[in-house]
Structure 1
């Protein structure tokens, strides 16, 4: 990663007191705009002493509960009294968000697989580099809001990356319980280290994200979970002072336990599921049948679960290719 400053610029002064709106100017020189840029909207409310909370959505452009919750928060920011600083970016991968796609239409970049990014890279790499070099050093707590997008539906779940021990771990679980999502899942990304979560961990920041729905829609019930969770978490941090914050319900803790909790398609075809979102399943149980559309007379291939657990997310597209993830399971666990 280059030690030179990011090529992304902004007129927002992160250190200036008060409320500001503006854009991050992502350079993009192309056939019809030689000196152009992509403006990525953001807002900052700075009240001085206190924690800095970075709130982002639209890391993937077809996930909407987070961006909508943050756009609604932006409506409130000018009238809010806070302690510390809020940096709010409703759609971090803005080209993907405007396109309604998981990846950027400019360079096909999946932002959540490109950290630490590259100063002189493609536009999506430049966004990751800006977050890594400019935003993460300023933040104390990072909250990145996701959903399943077009290809997945996901139970409303906070994804936790708790520090291993000590006071930071205790504080982290206080925030998790304050958010009060129905489910909190300790992820196993099978060694993936190019994510926003991995970047935040490298910087020693408290990082929370979540999956709140899918189908590339905006579910009202899941949106309410996000909005109320953010309000409770900001209150727990001492950033806000509202007395009418609704009480958090108890969250159910779960853990993804390696490859056995993932279900992948071995072949191309059409998948018929034998389970539903939220089902409790057992190792060896039928997950579904895979049909070959080119040989419809051929018996389908049975696919079985390789572990016990709750179905946390499932693929929304029936058409699959080899290696497509069909479902993700998790087992109940304890916060400690």
Structure 2
């Protein structure tokens, strides 16, 4: 008997031509459902020959621009004249999405810190494993849509992970400029290798991500950027051959330069920012103050920026604990 690559099954056939909807079935046996599974909605459109593009949202369950944009796209799929294959999963960590939380209510799993996952792990680990071992090998390009969730707010920004090989760097840049986000950031996750981006790199796949809002809401501006960007990206990659090629939009290219671009709370209290999202700030400038609610007569603790750049992400919760990121920056850069 051959051991299945993944414990997750599906009722869609990724190789069949035409439009299909169904679910990814994540085994989940618990007190109220002995033989149950978690059903994650998926849509597939395959016509002719061409690239395979994987579109996902809801990696974190309190981020909504991606799931809403992809749900709207799914309803348009039957009418799209594509050349290739499109796999759309509006809410990848479905339990977290339905719970409106960053992490899964079932196992507290943060999907974007779970890769490469585990075949026989928790539900969130199984989802990560399925993406890395089943979905990514099929894809030529993957786009994972994010926002700041409840705890953060982001400038609308496409996150770039340029491939290491020079042969594909030109194509990658065309895809980035094809998407046309107002900001493009080459991210530095301080060595974190448990992300979707890291999984795509291990599989040798072209990968784009993005942050398009925050505060646990659906931002109309961010949603419009996402919807337009998806259409432009699918045209640029050749999946919509009948559409006119979009005019490249380079966007403001930024880079996160390690820990000096992050500001963390050193103590508990109430954080008062001294900047606004999108401000250009300088090294040494006041970033904010932390006030002690138990001793309001004490002087506030002042935090200062350790680097210069634009404030691309700010904490939305005023209450902070030691180690909470309250803001991070990115600096103007170039592709070389």
TM-score interval (norm. to shorter): over 0.9
Matched with 1:203 is: 203
DSSP 3-state at the match of 2:6: coil
Matched with 2:115 is: 115
Deviation (angstroms), 1:166: 1.7
Is structure 2 residue 259 aligned with structure 1 residue 259? yes
Deviation (angstroms), 1:5: 1.5
Contiguous gaps of at least 5 residues in structure 1: none
Contiguous gaps of at least 5 residues in structure 2: none
Alignment RMSD? 1.2
Summarize deviations over 1:266-292 as a string: whole Å, max 9, x none: 111110110100001011100011111
Distance between the aligned counterparts of 1:203 and 1:286, measured in 2?
42
Q: Does the aligned pair in 2 maintain the 1:65–1:147 contact within 8 Å?
A: yes
Distance between the aligned counterparts of 2:144 and 2:279, measured in 1?
27
DSSP 3-state at the match of 2:213: strand
Distance between the aligned counterparts of 1:57 and 1:168, measured in 2?
25
Q: Structure 1 residues 164, 245: CA separation in 2 closer, same or farther (over 3 Å shift)?
A: closer
Distance between the aligned counterparts of 1:224 and 1:299, measured in 2?
43
Q: Does the aligned pair in 2 maintain the 1:228–1:246 contact within 8 Å?
A: no
TM-score after normalising by structure 1: 0.97
Counting only pairs closer than 5 Å after superposition, residues 2-151 of structure 1 correspond to structure 2 as 4-151=4-151
Matched with 1:225 is: 225
Q: Does the aligned pair in 2 maintain the 1:231–1:245 contact within 8 Å?
A: no
Summarize deviations over 1:67-114 as a string: whole Å, max 9, x none: 111011101100111011000000000000000000000000000000
Distance between the aligned counterparts of 2:165 and 2:89, measured in 1?
30
> Which deviates more from structure 2 when the two are superposed, residues 192-201 or residues 236-245?
236-245
Distance between the aligned counterparts of 2:53 and 2:243, measured in 1?
20
> Which deviates more from structure 2 when the two are superposed, residues 293-302 or residues 308-317?
293-302
Matched with 2:168 is: 168
DSSP 3-state at the match of 1:136: helix
Q: Does the aligned pair in 2 maintain the 1:56–1:90 contact within 8 Å?
A: yes
Deviation (angstroms), 1:4: 4.7
Summarize deviations over 1:145-196 as a string: whole Å, max 9, x none: 0000000110000000001242211100000000010000000000000000
Q: Does the aligned pair in 2 maintain the 1:12–1:20 contact within 8 Å?
A: yes
Number of residues paired by the alignment? 334
Deviation (angstroms), 1:246: 6.1
Q: Does the aligned pair in 2 maintain the 1:40–1:91 contact within 8 Å?
A: yes
Distance between the aligned counterparts of 1:303 and 1:211, measured in 2?
25
Q: Does the aligned pair in 1 maintain the 2:236–2:245 contact within 8 Å?
A: no
TM-score after normalising by structure 2: 0.97
Deviation (angstroms), 1:296: 1.4
Matched with 1:324 is: 324
Matched with 1:301 is: 301
Distance between the aligned counterparts of 2:163 and 2:22, measured in 1?
33
